Copies of this chain bind each other. A is one copy, B any other.
Amino acid sequence: MTVSKTAEKSSEKSGEAAKGRKDAAEAQPEALQLGELSEQLGYVLKRAQLKVFENFLRCMASLQLTPAQFSVLLLVEKNPGRNQTEIASTLGILRPNFVALLDNLESRDLCARIRSTNDRRSHILVLTDKGKAVLTRAKKLVATKHESRLNDLLGQSNREALIEMLSKIANEF
C-alpha cells in the first residue's frame, strides 16, 4: 500500500554504465519487481484512488472544487433542509472537521447555514443560487472530462461493474 502523490523522477540512466555487473551473466534490471504487490487489493486500490482524485482535481481546477466539497454540494442539493450533523455523518465526516469545510463553502457563497426554527441548535444547510449554478457546471465537467475517461479506459459496462463491486466492498466488507 502506501503510494503518495508525487510523480516519479523517471530516472533514466544512460543505459550503459551499470553498477554491479561483472559479465553479461547477471544483469540487474534497474527496474524493481513489484511481485505480489501488484495483486494486493489494498495497494492497487489506493494507487487507483490517488490517480482518480488527482484527475478530479485537474478537471475541477476552473471551479476550485475538491472531491470532498463536491460531495457536500451534491448531498445538500439532494437533501435540502438537513443539518450539519446529518450531512457530515452520511459523508463519513466528523462534525468537528465539517466546520471548516462548510466555512469555506459558505465564504464562497456556495451554500448557507440557516438556523432552524424547530431546533435552534441546528443549522439547516441549503445551496445558494450560486452554489446551484456551480454544482451544475461541476456535474458537467465531471461527466465530460472525468467520468468519460473511465469509459474510454474500461468501457461502459466494465465501468458500471467496477462501481458496483466497489460499492459492495464499501458496504459489506
Q: Which residues from chain B contact A68 at a C-beta distance below 8 Å? A: 1-2
| Count of chain A residues near B, Cβ 8 A | 79
CB distance from A51 to the nearest CB of B (A): 5
Considering only CB atoms, which chain B residue lies closest to A122 in the complex?
Answer: B19
The one of B32, B89, B161, B163 in contact with A41, judged by C-beta atoms closer than 8 angstroms, is: B163
> Closest residue of chain B to A143, judged by CB?
B36
Q: A1-B67, A2-B71 are in contact. Are A48 and B166 (CB under 8 A)?
A: yes
What 0/1 pattern do residues 61 to 91 of A give for CB contact below 8 A with B?
A: 0000011101110110111001000110111
Give bound CA distance, A47 to B161, whole Å. Answer: 16
Copies, count: 2
In the complex, A100 has a CB within 8 A of chain B:
no
Which listed residue, B42, B51, B87, touches A173 by the CB 8 Å rule?
Answer: B51
**C-alpha gap A95/B162 in the complex (Å):** 33
A6 within 8 Å of B (CB atoms): yes
**In this assembly, does A107 line the interface, its C-beta being within 8 Å of a C-beta of chain B?**
no
Give the B-binding residues of A (Cβ under 8 A).
1-6, 8-9, 11, 19-20, 32-53, 55-56, 66-68, 70-72, 74-75, 77-79, 82, 86-87, 89-94, 97, 118-119, 139, 142, 146-147, 149-150, 153-154, 158-159, 161-163, 165-170, 172-173
